[in-house]
Structure 1
Amino acid sequence: MSTPLADSLRPAPASARAAQKRRKPRSRFTPARLGVYAFLFTAALFFLLPLYVMLVTSVKPMTEIRLGHLLALPVQWTLAPWRDAWSSACTGLDCSGIRVGFWNSVRIVVPSTVISIAVGAVNGYALSFWRPRGAGVLFGILLAGAFIPVQVMVYPLVRVLAFVHLFSSLPGIVLIHTIFGMPVMTLLFRNYYASLPQELFKAARIDGGGFWRIFMQLMLPMSVPIIVVAIIMQVTGIWNDYILGLVFAGTRNLPMTVQLNNIINTTTGERIYNVNMAATILTSAVPLAIYFISGRWFVRGIASGAVKG
């Protein structure tokens, strides 16, 4: 018969010993974790330091910039460079600021994004569920088009747009961005729709739904995550584009990136670094705002099937 003393001297079961080991607090600062933190801090510093220099320089007067203290905070803060960059920065003899390029970029980005996403969504839906004859070949051609360098297609597109009288016009640059965005958008939507259950489509077909009715009433409401991903990709890609806007937009429709290049490379007079930095930040403000505001939607859309298939 066991006694309390004997029970206390008896070794604890293996499960109890394992539980005791699990209860031991783990150290927060292990060598591996410290290495990860050091790497993340270095990477963050590497990417944020140029942004810091741009911000600090954009609020300094030129008298302080000439002193050469690149990382020093301004002694006298000023927002005049931002006003000049927006409304009176010069590109040669034209001193209208970067606002002209901003509104040109808006006029280019909005229709290009809407049209390319609409065409890509319909293509992806048709290739995923209806699968017409030759759908695999068509998808392969579109996929190959996504990897063709832009520079290879510039001259043929210049000849084609000049032939149809769309070269150096707003409809012409919108059409160019739609063409170059369609392969990637088709790939995104095709992979997303391929991850949806086929039973939904078959049930809608049994209920008498046609091509457009199923797309508008069933597929499109379920496509919000991938539409957000497509909007982020298209807006940032088209907004940051330089070569297509320079070649196809024409002098009256030059986007913000081209205007920024013209402002920075203007050689008449003194080079005004604070105005150049302010213009650079204004040009990148829209993509940065989109990523900061809708970053979680982008991750959710990618996780919902944007890169599957």
Structure 2
Amino acid sequence: MSTITADNRAHAPGTLAAGEPRGPLPKRLTADRIGVYAFLIITAIFFLIPLWVMVVTSLKTMPEIRDGLLFNWPRELTFDPWIKAWSAACTGIECRGLQPGFLNSVKITLLSVPISIVIAMINGYALSFWKYKSADFLFGVLMFGAFVPYQVVVYPMIIGMGRIGLFGTLTGIVLVHTAFGMPILTLLFRNFFTALPAELFKAARVDGAGFWQVFFQIMLPMSLPIAVVALILQVTGIWNDFLFGLVFGGRENSPMTVQLNNIVQTTTGTREYNVNMAATIITGLVPLFVYFVSGKWFVRGIAAGAIKG
């Protein structure tokens, strides 16, 4: 008869390691599980009800909306509000809908996100393994910038960017988003790299690898999870931004959120709630898509070191 001990079984191939959960999953409902399920269901309903109202309102005609039946499915289904919100709604003196703002938001996001992530990744790497004199002090100053309200520095930035000719330009708003995303992104990458085994860095240095060799050949391939976290944070933050787009974008570079505000706040003529709801949903589709596609990577990145250090 075999006399394999519990410890040996824990380390045998195909068996569970020590400390891992064992046994079948519970099949009967307990009070704790019922409470958890009830909480999740109530929370889901709490967040889904406003979305349901927005969707059904965007598919109704204005006479039906005036009936006041917010939760009812449309009696006469129409997609005209969506078409008007995209291409014909008035955002001031122009009536081109959200389409120009969408293109501007795409340009701003595609330029700002990779620039800010690359710079923050290099900053985090340098602060983790190549600490220079006063590195901790500079990192503290950078973190302090994350807690300064945006409204405090908007006016000085307007003056400074106006003097160098970048105010109201695409380059200017890209620089603004890059600068304001730097503190939190640097923190994420620094904590991630700090959690990696230092032996990897030391072995590379012994083999003669320099700053960029270690970065591109070792650190960069390992930083995919945290890079996805940074990507989600930047895409959603920049896409949903209103203040910087309104102040620094200028008329030619107004992002989608500014166009949405102009549509919703229009005070002339009839207030078309179905068009407003459709425009709001269209504006939020990109962040929603990003979360659905890369949500599991976000969780992996957090677990891999986004909140360590």
CA distance in 2, matches of 1:73, 1:256: 28
Following superposition, the deviation at residue 152 of structure 1 comes to 1.0
Alignment partner, residue 141 of structure 1: 141
The answer as to whether partners of 1:54 and 1:278 remain within 8 angstroms in 2 is: yes
1:265 and 2:265 are equivalent in the alignment: yes
Alignment partner, residue 45 of structure 1: 45
**Residues 290-305 of structure 1 aligned to structure 2 (within 5 Å):** 290-305=290-305
CA distance in 2, matches of 1:76, 1:307: 50
Alignment partner, residue 92 of structure 1: 92
Alignment partner, residue 192 of structure 1: 192
Following superposition, the deviation at residue 93 of structure 1 comes to 2.3
The answer as to whether partners of 1:128 and 1:190 remain within 8 angstroms in 2 is: yes
User: Counterpart amino acid of 1:188?
Assistant: L
Following superposition, the deviation at residue 26 of structure 1 comes to 6.7
Tell me the secondary structure at the aligned position of residue 92 of structure 1.
coil
Alignment partner, residue 4 of structure 2: none
| Number of positions where the alignment pairs a residue of Structure 1 with one of Structure 2 | 287
Tell me the secondary structure at the aligned position of residue 223 of structure 2.
helix
Tell me the secondary structure at the aligned position of residue 124 of structure 1.
helix
Q: Which runs of 5+ in 1 are unaligned?
A: 1-22
User: For the structure 1 residues 97 and 26, does the alpha-carbon distance in structure 2 shift closer, same or farther, using more than 3 Å as the test?
Assistant: closer
Rg larger for: 1
> How far does the alpha carbon of each residue in 1:230-268 deviate from its partner, in whole angstroms, 9 at most, with x for none?
000000001011111111110110110110000001111
Alignment partner, residue 28 of structure 1: 28
Alignment partner, residue 236 of structure 1: 236
User: Counterpart amino acid of 1:229?
Assistant: V
| % same residue | 61
Alignment partner, residue 82 of structure 1: 82
Following superposition, the deviation at residue 100 of structure 1 comes to 0.7
The answer as to whether partners of 1:89 and 1:98 remain within 8 angstroms in 2 is: yes
Following superposition, the deviation at residue 212 of structure 1 comes to 1.0
CA distance in 1, matches of 2:225, 2:32: 36
RMSD: 1.6
The answer as to whether partners of 1:53 and 1:70 remain within 8 angstroms in 2 is: yes
User: Counterpart amino acid of 1:307?
Assistant: I
**Residues 167-178 of structure 1 aligned to structure 2 (within 5 Å):** 167-178=167-178
CA distance in 2, matches of 1:153, 1:26: 55
**Residues 12-23 of structure 1 aligned to structure 2 (within 5 Å):** none
| TM-score for the superposition, normalised by structure 2 | 0.90
| TM-score for the superposition, normalised by structure 1 | 0.90
Following superposition, the deviation at residue 28 of structure 1 comes to 3.1
Following superposition, the deviation at residue 206 of structure 1 comes to 1.3
The answer as to whether partners of 1:92 and 1:268 remain within 8 angstroms in 2 is: no
1:62 and 2:62 are equivalent in the alignment: yes
User: Counterpart amino acid of 2:98?
Assistant: I
Q: Which runs of 5+ in 2 are unaligned?
A: 1-22
The answer as to whether partners of 1:191 and 1:306 remain within 8 angstroms in 2 is: yes
CA distance in 2, matches of 1:138, 1:37: 46
Following superposition, the deviation at residue 27 of structure 1 comes to 7.3
CA distance in 1, matches of 2:121, 2:26: 49
The answer as to whether partners of 1:104 and 1:255 remain within 8 angstroms in 2 is: yes
Q: Which moved more, 1:273-282 or 1:33-42?
A: 33-42
User: Counterpart amino acid of 2:243?
Assistant: I
Following superposition, the deviation at residue 115 of structure 1 comes to 0.8
Alignment partner, residue 275 of structure 2: 275
